[in-house]
């Protein structure tokens, strides 16, 4: 069997697995926020062209499970993405300057945020040097 982590770009696998770990360790409103973040990241991966089957293999679930969770390419707070992706705010600023990220938005919690698909695409581009 293929390594499911290898099917998804390594930088993206890191983010998604960290988001899943955050879901498992959070409680109360933080848990709801963690689930929302993972859902948005999965939706962003789909928009960025990462196959559903590869995402399902990474999470060791059926493709339908990912399809049901990956329906929204929502806003992900910059601070959350920095923690999950192990990048810096300076990286995000650089990606924005280089045209890889749009202008930041404010999410319903008044946090500086970016569309998940833009963050995923910028991370892939940064890791590979090839624009998606």
Query: Domain tally for the chain?
Result: 1
pLDDT of 19 > 70? The answer is: yes
Contact 107, 75 (CB under 8 A): yes
Q: Which domain holds residue 10?
A: 4-128
pLDDT digits (tens, 9 = 90+) for 20-69: 999 999 999 999 999 999 999 999 999 999 999 999 999 999 999 999 98
Q: What are phi and psi of 127, to 5 degrees?
A: -75, -30
Structure pTM? Answer: 0.90
| Helix (H/G/I), strand (E/B), else coil: 76 | strand
Cβ-proximal residues to 77 (8 Å cutoff; 6+ apart), any chain:
37, 107, 109, 111, 112, 113
pLDDT digits (tens, 9 = 90+) for 67-90: 998 888 999 999 999 999 999 999
């Amino acid at each position: 069997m293929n390594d499911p982590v290898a099917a998804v770009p390594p930088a993206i696998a890191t983010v998604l697995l960290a988001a899943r770990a955050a879901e498992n360790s959070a409680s109360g409103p933080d848990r709801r926020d963690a689930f929302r973040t993972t859902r948005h990241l999965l939706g962003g991966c789909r928009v960025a062209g990462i196959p559903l089957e590869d995402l399902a293999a990474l999470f060791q679930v059926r493709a339908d499970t990912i399809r049901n969770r990956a329906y929204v390419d929502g806003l992900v707070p910059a601070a959350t993405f920095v923690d999950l992706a192990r990048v810096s705010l300076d990286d995000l600023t650089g990606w924005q300057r280089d045209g890889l990220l749009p202008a930041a938005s404010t999410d319903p919690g008044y946090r500086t945020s970016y569309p998940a698909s833009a963050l995923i695409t910028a991370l892939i581009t940064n890791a590979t040097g090839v624009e998606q």
